[in-house]
Structure 1
């Protein structure tokens, strides 16, 4: 019985230490999430001089705009072109100048260069990188994934532990108005956690699909497209997801694991260019823009320019309504369409995930969606802070320990089982759970052995 209680005491400590680990990440993700939710409004307000232009009668072609840019910046590498999303919006090029990535804005009517912006260190790029990898790359991504995974474990096990089983839901379904001090904080934490648990799980699960380890495995398992779509297309050996980065989303999650085609320098001799206009070779960027319009791609897309001899033009629309998603690859020599992937090609899981991601980012239903997700972020912040206060008030006097084990041990045993099952589903959580178990066990053994050590007389 003593060994059993000792094990559950150990697991109880995991539960609290995991909560303390998760809280800073939940607050950071919520704050950065609120900022990114309102990216359209903030960008329009902060960069109006770069993004808005007076409407004129005649618009320059994409190739004319590119020629003006190259004349002004002859040494730069151009990686992306974003056609104007509306009549009164500027066009945008992404360039690399002396190792610095810049967003360069162009008036599509006059050809005037409106100004530039650091592509990696503007507000939204920094917020997105903080949200995705803490600005430290793969290590940060794994920490975010670990925190999100433990967040799911804590929500599910917490729901089981706190689920009202009696006739009254006081303290769980609603706070007790007479509560004071620690009991007041406990009720606020439990009530907000209970009612917000479904939304919090939604946010955590949809966010997990973008993580570098679990998200990649999940995408590889569920995102499958007919191989025939790429049977007659030369492939580069890379995946389309290589066009994404932690600071910039280019292609949709559903197509990240699809092959990235390669251009064929001899395409014209292979019959691919038979139906292409003669002007393609000299006006290829505008040809890609025209082809996207002809194929019904809605405004707001980007065009990634070819990098290297086998690079392709990639039109990517990561749409607010995922039913409008589009990913098209064009041969850089012939202008031939090598692949065209749309919503109809997505599988059921990909459609579900893409819809969930757009809800997560507050894009699917406009301002109402933004406000709902912002409210969820505020709820997460409040729940995190109240949980921290509750732990501080319940900790053992004078030290950073955990509160005593719950008295309802049978219920806690089931919660431990839930934690272990989720540890299998989310491998980083499971690995960290085993690591903490071993370290905690070794530490407890060390403490037991210390008193028996006596100095020699």
Structure 2
């Protein structure tokens, strides 16, 4: 009886969230390898011919990018990969972002990116990154291409429902005995195995093996969907304590005011300090007090570092690394890497890819199971109604048989009527 109600609950949970889970799973599969696929898909402006000579000064390349982008699109950050085969990317964010009205396409921001060859100074391409394929996929995954305030709660609720369906699915999957368990852990298909059986096994067996990973992906996704969930994760990580994150304001000394930003000096310092980094993201100060920030990205997330410099002198003001964060901040910091599997390197991304693929397939295979059973039940009822109709027609044709059945009973043994 319990399993009957669990099966009904599992069915309606799947029907309620199936379409959204499918979209999230497919978009997750596409986005998990975006760092590896972008240089391949956009090789014409992401890659440059490997050069033995030293790259041009960052300040000179910055001026080139500023001219190419124009005054309406001031450079806000520079992305430099620690490779002699990658171009420099100069990113421009609008001062006043356009608010998304409802759909993603109704509020496109003018986010221009300039890709510059660091050895020749040639501008390889200027493009609006809002139209870039992987960014659109990211927004589809983030909020279904809806305004964040609308799409994020929908994604979050669908994810909660999906988590519940995984749990109910595990209870329904659990074998009663050893004999039943033999068919639950692996495919036992033969030449004549029907597609319905194969679909059933795909839903149950793949769902079982990927359940833990699907749960991890789902729960890390909920960190972005709901503030209360993020706060709860931080609270648990901090040992049941609420530690407020204090954002220290780090400023430059205006006594050394200069119109020139020592970007070259800053970049040289960072390269000497962290020669094995994967990439450097250099921010351009927004105003006269802002410090120049450099985010240093490593292959291991635990080594990522943020350094603040005085925008006038290039003096190092503060360094924030892994050890400077509370446990709650560490969990939030690692959330993206856990979500996409990159915390385990490339194998982790492969695992996240297949977990997302299986998650996308569960609503499909589950729907086919439900639809097949529904058709079977309808066919049974139809055959039952047809047989009743045929019997009634026969009784009409032979009223004596009908009277005999009523008088002598269904088995012709009489109804205990006295003679």
Q: How does 1:27-176 map to 2 (within 5 A)?
A: 27-54=22-49, 55-75=51-71, 76-96=73-93, 100-136=110-146, 137-168=148-179, 169-175=181-187
**Counterparts of 1:326 and 1:260, CA distance in 2:** 16
CA distances 1:154-208 after superposition (whole Å, capped 9, x unpaired): 2123223432242331443245658757565434322222222112112212333
**Counterparts of 1:330 and 1:352, CA distance in 2:** 26
Contact 1:261 1:312 in 2 (8 A): no
Mean Cα deviation higher: 359-368 or 86-95: 359-368
**Counterparts of 2:90 and 2:304, CA distance in 1:** 21
Matching residue of 1:259: 247
> Alpha carbons of 1:394 and 1:350: their partners in 2 closer, same or farther (altered >3 Å)?
farther
**Counterparts of 2:246 and 2:233, CA distance in 1:** 10
Is 2:204 the partner of 1:190? Answer: yes
C-alpha RMSD of the superposition: 3.4
Contact 2:66 2:74 in 1 (8 A): no
**Counterparts of 1:184 and 1:395, CA distance in 2:** 18
> Alpha carbons of 1:77 and 1:10: their partners in 2 closer, same or farther (altered >3 Å)?
farther
Matching residue of 1:289: 267
Contact 1:53 1:88 in 2 (8 A): yes
1:19 counterpart SS class: helix
CA distances 1:40-95 after superposition (whole Å, capped 9, x unpaired): 33212221121122315132222111122233344122111112431121111012
**Counterparts of 1:19 and 1:41, CA distance in 2:** 33
1:164 counterpart SS class: coil
Is 2:225 the partner of 1:211? Answer: yes
2:319 counterpart SS class: strand
**Counterparts of 1:11 and 1:260, CA distance in 2:** 51
> Alpha carbons of 1:113 and 1:185: their partners in 2 closer, same or farther (altered >3 Å)?
closer
2:292 counterpart SS class: strand
Measured after TM superposition, the shift of residue 369 of structure 1 is 3.1
CA distances 1:5-31 after superposition (whole Å, capped 9, x unpaired): 9x9998865543321122222221222
**Counterparts of 1:352 and 1:83, CA distance in 2:** 27
TM-score (norm 2): 0.72
**Counterparts of 2:361 and 2:4, CA distance in 1:** 27
> Alpha carbons of 1:187 and 1:97: their partners in 2 closer, same or farther (altered >3 Å)?
closer
1:16 counterpart SS class: helix
Matching residue of 1:427: none
**Counterparts of 2:270 and 2:125, CA distance in 1:** 27
Task: Mark the structure with the bigger radius of gyration.
Answer: 2
Unaligned runs of 5+ in 1: 225-255, 399-457
Number of residues of Structure 1 aligned to a counterpart in Structure 2: 352
**Counterparts of 1:8 and 1:368, CA distance in 2:** 37
Contact 1:222 1:350 in 2 (8 A): no
**Counterparts of 1:9 and 1:165, CA distance in 2:** 15
TM-score (norm 1): 0.67
**Counterparts of 1:193 and 1:336, CA distance in 2:** 54
**Counterparts of 1:285 and 1:43, CA distance in 2:** 27
**Counterparts of 2:251 and 2:335, CA distance in 1:** 34
2:91 counterpart SS class: strand
**Segments ≥4 residues shifted beyond 6 Å:** 7-12
